[in-house]
C-alpha cells in the first residue's frame, strides 16, 4: 500500500518477473542470444532514474531477498503477478518460468499470483501442461507471445483455429485473463509482429475473457488504441509505458497517458512494473505524484485524478484477478467501478 496526501493506494503489480539470465543458465551454442537478450533488457533499465540502475551482473540474476525488498518492502506493492517467459532455446532452465516463480513465491503466501502460459502450436501436450499448471499453481491468467518461433513456425495469431481451441480450453479451466505481449520483439523477421488485429477478433469471440495488451503495442500505440476502443474486454497493460517514459521522456509520457485516457479510459489500464527491468518504488511514487501539465498541447486530454490513479495502480487488476481490497483502499461509491467495460463512450462512433 502507498499512502500519499491522506489517500491510500492498493498496489497490484500486474506484470513482473523473477528470472535467471546469468551465464550459468545460457544454452551452449546460444550464448550470444542469451547475452544479447539480457543486455537489451538492461538497456531498458537505463531509461529509469540513475539511482535505480543495477550492475549488469546483478541484473542478470537477482535474489529472492532482492525481489522481496524491491517489490514489497520498498516498492509499496501489495500483490504481484508473475508473468512467465520461457525462452528455453536460450536459457537452459528457462528465463522466467512458472515453476521458478512458484517455487519462490510459495514461501510468501498471499503475495503472489502465478500466471502460466501456452502456445497453441504445442497441440494436445500443451493442453495437458496447461491443465497441470492451472491445477498446481491455481493460475487464472496466462502470458502469451504470439511472435515466438516454435519448431519452424513463424509465430501465430490469436485468431487462428488452434488458438481458439486453446482459448476455449483455458476458459473451461477457469482462466480469465489473457495477457498478450504486443511490443518490442524479434521474430518473425519479415512480419510486423506488433500487429494487434488478431486481438480484435478473439476479444469479440471470447467476451468473457479479458485481454490485457502488455506494453500497449509500443511502438505501435495507435494500432492498439484504434482496436481497444472498440472492444470492451481489452485492457492496456502499462508495463514499459511508466517505466520507459515517465522519467526518461516526461513530455511523451504525458501525451501517451493522455491518449490512453482518451481511447482506452482509466478503468481499463493496469500498472505493471516489469520488475526486474524497473523497480516499482519510483514508478508508484512518481505516478501518484504525476499530473498532466496545464498546457495548451495537453488541453484536450482527459485528466486522471486520484480515483483514476487508484484504479490504474491496483483496483483494476484486483477486479480482474478477484483480489480482496482492504476497505480503506476502496473507492467511494461515486468514483466509478474499477475495470468497468463501458468506458469507451468518449470515442463513440470511432
Partner 1 sequence: MTADVTATSTDELLAALETVRDPELDEPITSLGFVASCTVSEGGDAQVRLRLPTYFCAPNFAYLMVADAYDAVSALPGVRSTSVVLEDHFAADAINGGVAAQAGFVRSFDGEAVAELDGLRADFLRKAVMAGTDQVCRPLLAAGRDQAALLAMRLGDVPPSHALDRLRDRRGELGLPAGESAPLLIDPVTGAAIDAGALPLHMRKAQLTRTSIEANSGICRGMLRHRYDTRGQGEEDQ
* Cα–Cα nearest to 194, from 206, 180, 205: 180
- Scanning residues 288 to 317, which ones bind partner 1 (CB under 8 A)? 296
* Residue 88 vs 249, nearer CB to partner 1: 249
Map 49-71 to HEC letters: CHHHCCCHHHHHECCHHHHHHHH
How does DSSP classify residue 265? -
Nearer to partner 1, 1 or 43 (CB): 43
Position 32 contacts partner 1 (CB under 8 A) = yes
How far apart are the C-alpha atoms of 12 and 173, rounded to whole Å?
24
Whole-number minimum distance, CB 117 to partner 1, in Å? 20
Binding mask 212-241 for partner 1 (x = CB under 8 A): ------xxxxx--xx---------------
**Considering the complex, what minimum distance in angstroms separates the CB of residue 230 from partner 1?**
12
> Which lies closer to partner 1 via its Cβ, residue 134 or residue 221?
221
- Please work out the total of residues on this chain that contact partner 1, with binding judged by CB under 8 A: 43
| Coil, helix or strand at residue 254 | helix
Give the range of 68-76, 126-134, 248-256, 322-330 binding partner 1 by CB under 8 A. Answer: 248-256
Which residue's CB is nearer to partner 1, number 71 or number 245?
A: 245
Q: Are 225 and 259 in contact (CB under 8 A)?
A: yes
Chain residues 262-281 in contact with partner 1, contact rule CB under 8 A = 262-263
| Residue 93 or 222 with smaller CB distance to partner 1 | 222
Total residues belonging to the chain: 350
Which residue, 193 or 202, is less far from partner 1 as judged by CB? 193
Residue 333 touches partner 1, criterion: CB under 8 A: no
Contact letters for partner 1, residues 175-214 (x by CB under 8 A): ---------xxxxxxxxxx---------------------
Residue 80 pairs with which residues in a beta bridge? 13, 112
Instruction: Please select the residue that binds partner 1; options are 47, 56, 306, 331, rule is CB under 8 A.
Output: 47
- Between 178 and 261, whose beta carbon lies closer to partner 1? 261
If one asks whether residue 327 binds partner 1 (CB under 8 A), the answer comes out as no
Smaller CB separation from partner 1, 213 or 318: 213
Q: Please give the residue ranges that form the binding site for partner 1 (CB under 8 A).
A: 32-33, 36-37, 39-40, 43-44, 46-47, 154, 184-193, 218-222, 225-226, 244-245, 248-249, 252-253, 255-256, 259, 262-263, 296, 347, 349-350
Amino acid at each position: 500500500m502507498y499512502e500519499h496526501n491522506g489517500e491510500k493506494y492498493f498496489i497490484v503489480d500486474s506484470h513482473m518477473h523473477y528470472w535467471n539470465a546469468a551465464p550459468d543458465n545460457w544454452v551452449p551454442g546460444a550464448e550470444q542470444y542469451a547475452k544479447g537478450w539480457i543486455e537489451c533488457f538492461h538497456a531498458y533499465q537505463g531509461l529509469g532514474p540513475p539511482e535505480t540502475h543495477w550492475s549488469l551482473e546483478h541484473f542478470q540474476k537477482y535474489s529472492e531477498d532482492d525481489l522481496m525488498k524491491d517489490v514489497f518492502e520498498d516498492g509499496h506493492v501489495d500483490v504481484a503477478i508473475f508473468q512467465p517467459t520461457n525462452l528455453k532455446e536460450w536459457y537452459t532452465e528457462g528465463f522466467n518460468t512458472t515453476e521458478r516463480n512458484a517455487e519462490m513465491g510459495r514461501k510468501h503466501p498471499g503475495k503472489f499470483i502465478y500466471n502460466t502460459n501456452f502456445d497453441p502450436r504445442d497441440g494436445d501436450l500443451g493442453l495437458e501442461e496447461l491443465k497441470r499448471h492451472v491445477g498446481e499453481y491455481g493460475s487464472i491468467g496466462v502470458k502469451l507471445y504470439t511472435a515466438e518461433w516454435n519448431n519452424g513456425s513463424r509465430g501465430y495469431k490469436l485468431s487462428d483455429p488452434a488458438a481458439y481451441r486453446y482459448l476455449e480450453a483455458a476458459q473451461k479451466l477457469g482462466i480469465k485473463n489473457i495477457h498478450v505481449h504486443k511490443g518490442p520483439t524479434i521474430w518473425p523477421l519479415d512480419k510486423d509482429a506488433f500487429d494487434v488485429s488478431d486481438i480484435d477478433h478473439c476479444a469479440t469471440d471470447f467476451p468473457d475473457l479479458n485481454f490485457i495488451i502488455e506494453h500497449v503495442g509500443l511502438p505501435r500505440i495507435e494500432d492498439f488504441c484504434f482496436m481497444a476502443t472498440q472492444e470492451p474486454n481489452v485492457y492496456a497493460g502499462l508495463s514499459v509505458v511508466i517505466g520507459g517514459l515517465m522519467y526518461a521522456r516526461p513530455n511523451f509520457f504525458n501525451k501517451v497517458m493522455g491518449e490512453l485516457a482518451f481511447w482506452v479510459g482509466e478503468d481499463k489500464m493496469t500498472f505493471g512494473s516489469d520488475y526486474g527491468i524497473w523497480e516499482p518504488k519510483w514508478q508508484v511514487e512518481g505516478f501518484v505524484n504525476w499530473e498532466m501539465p496545464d498546457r495548451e498541447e495537453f488541453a484536450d486530454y482527459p485528466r486522471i485524478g486520484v480515483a483514476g490513479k487508484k484504479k490504474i495502480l491496483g483496483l483494476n487488476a484486483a477486479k480482474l484477478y478477484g483480489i480482496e481490497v482492504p476497505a480503506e483502499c476502496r473507492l467511494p461509491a461515486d468514483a466509478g467501478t474499477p475495470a468497468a467495460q463501458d468506458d469507451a463512450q468518449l470515442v463513440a462512433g470511432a
